[in-house]
Structure 1
Amino acid sequence: MDRQNKKTSPFCKQKEKMIFKMIGKVIKKLLFCFIVLILLQGFDESPPDKPADTSIDFTYPGGKHKALIMSFDDGCIADITLAALFDKYKIIGTFNISSGPIGTTQIWSVKNGDTIRQSYLSEKTILKIYKNHEIAAHGATHKNFLKIGKEEILEQINVDIQKLSFLTKRKINSIAYPFGAANDSVSKIVATTGITNARTVKSTNNFELPENLLLWNPTCRDDKALDFLDDYLKLNPKKLSVFYVWGHSWELGNGKRWDNMVQFCKSISNRKDIWYVGSGTLANYINATKKVKIKDNIITNPKGNLIVWLNLSSGVTRLKPGNHIKI
């Protein structure tokens, strides 16, 4: 029996068209609402969560944003005069000592082929001369860390730490690289010894804090310090800064270079906005600020940390370990 083709009535066709038209309108409205929602989210003015190091205005003790480090190498007898100068102007020095030559006289070759004769402080005089200053390592026998292997680098550092700790009854946590010679690989070796900061001799010509405390490039050498003096005295930073000077006391002599050092110390001393500090103390403070946490507008200084200083809308505040403050 033949099947008959069923034709859709005009009424049904019209009803289908109306249904499809209504569905189309609903889809258009939903799409419009979706686009508007995306645009509104894009214009959300609520501030994003900030990490602690950008949302907390840290200061140095007393609300200061500036610091001075004076770092001098070798431990020669010329340090006696320089340490006395620092004492006069209440400046903290960081004296980096090679423990091997202590109490001896050594002859060293220099770049131009000449030799220099150096006499080093004795064990009995070290603590007396540096009583107001930081004592740091400088490699037991002043070997270039880029020319020796890992085991010898560790020996140079650990022997220095052990001997200097024994002589001074202090914890040694800073080092100045002999010859300023260092790279990433060397700094990672140094990090295993308990040293928290290590200075190079590569000048930055600025007052920024270091990205890596174990490859700490100073601002300048002592013979350029006066060139940066006025800029730092006039500086009104809104973040932590440091003027880091390095050198050798035996290079100062008793002529113009020494006179410049006297002028520098006299001019930069007794400033209410400058923290006079050793490199180890400053490094410890920088590390302490990195341990502070902020969440839900509450700043927390964890137990076992150092006291940190904050600049809040209510003023400069000291936050003790184990405490928190709402902002």
Structure 2
Amino acid sequence: MAKIYVTYPEGKFKALTMSYDDGRKADKRLVEIFNRNGIKGTFHINSGFFGNTEYDRMEEAECVELYKGHEVSAHTLTHPTIARCPKEMLVHEVMEDRKNLERIFGYTIRGMSYPNGSYSPEIMKLLPQLGIEYSRVVETTHGGFGLPHNWLEWKATCHHKDNLMKHGETFVSLHKKQYLYLMYVWGHSYEFDNDNNWNIIEEFCELAGGRDDIWYATNMEIVDYMKAYERLRFSAGMEFVENPNATSVWLSVDGDIREIPGGVTVRF
């Protein structure tokens, strides 16, 4: 029987994703750094604050062009501490944020990060009914590179203030292909202005960007890919696999990388 492992696209075993909250004007500089290094980010936005100069928020129109090639995700309409709110308010905050962002950016919003890091088991149960498939928390793994056990309680590897370069150097040196590694960095772009340390994200992106062995993906792309893998249908004897998805999934079969195209059955 063949030894079969899932890989990331094209047989890669390392992935990098970035996650930044609030949609503040400093995102312009951050996106430029990401784009220069071929890195993808997910930007969690409070749509109720577009154009609000008091909160240093951008206008809708400039965001459409800015975030092309990246993911825009929900962060609630007005950034309340949702674990303290009635569920009716939570529904309003999430659904109105989704509606606004979908109108502006033209695709379905299916992800989120919890405003103020506030969430509860009850909220996690409710979110899928509101169309939310993942949500990031503020707690981190402090250097862990694994995939989450629960997409609605997704812990990043680190905040960018937490030994970013040390974790980055460890990540790029990983080489054991029997594992799938994910480095997930989160923060707020305005923190680089406040702390006068844009150099740290620039140095990290230069280190981690442009590498052939890393898959650069948004939060949602990672969720979609792993769910596509879970939908594969393997024969009991592991002689073949059916891919009911529209997109490809890659497998390592006795060390050989095999693409399993969407809608196709592949024999091993």
Matched, 1:223 2:161: yes
Shift of 1:145: 1.6
Partner SS for 1:322: coil
Which residue does the alignment assign to 1:214?
Answer: 152
Q: Distance in 2 between matches of 1:227 and 1:148?
A: 38
What residue ranges of structure 2 are gaps of 5+ in the alignment? none
Match of 2:58 among 121, 124, 144: 121
Partner SS for 2:140: coil
Match of 1:134 among 42, 67, 71: 71
Shift of 1:285: 0.6
Q: Show CA shifts across 1:177-223 (max 9, x none).
A: 10111232211111111111110011112001000011101111011
Letter paired with 2:171: Y
Matched, 1:235 2:197: no
Match of 1:164 among 90, 101, 125: 101
Matched, 1:153 2:94: no
Which residue does the alignment assign to 2:127?
Answer: 190
- Determine if contact 2:24/2:57 at 8 Å carries over to the other structure: yes
Q: Distance in 2 between matches of 1:141 and 1:67?
A: 31
Q: Distance in 2 between matches of 1:222 and 1:179?
A: 17
- Determine if contact 1:223/1:257 at 8 Å carries over to the other structure: no
Write 1 or 2 for the structure with the bigger share of strand. Answer: 2
Q: Show CA shifts across 1:8-50 (max 9, x none).
A: xxxxxxxxxxxxxxxxxxxxxxxxxxxxxxxxxxxxxxx9xx9
Letter paired with 2:179: K
Partner SS for 2:215: strand
TM-score of the superposition, structure 1-length normalised? 0.77
Partner SS for 1:167: helix
Q: Show CA shifts across 1:80-108 (max 9, x none).
A: 111111111111111110000011123xx
Higher RCO structure, 1 or 2 (CA under 8 Å, sep 6+):
2
Q: Distance in 2 between matches of 1:129 and 1:99?
A: 15
Letter paired with 1:301: E
Most deviating of 122-131 and 232-241:
232-241
TM-score of the superposition, structure 2-length normalised? 0.93
Q: How many residues align?
A: 264
Q: Distance in 1 between matches of 2:120 and 2:12?
A: 32
Q: Distance in 2 between matches of 1:293 and 1:149?
A: 41
Q: Distance in 2 between matches of 1:161 and 1:182?
A: 18
Q: Which of the pair has more CA radius of gyration?
A: 1
> Which stretches of structure 1, 4 residues or longer, exceed 3 Å deviation after superposition?
none
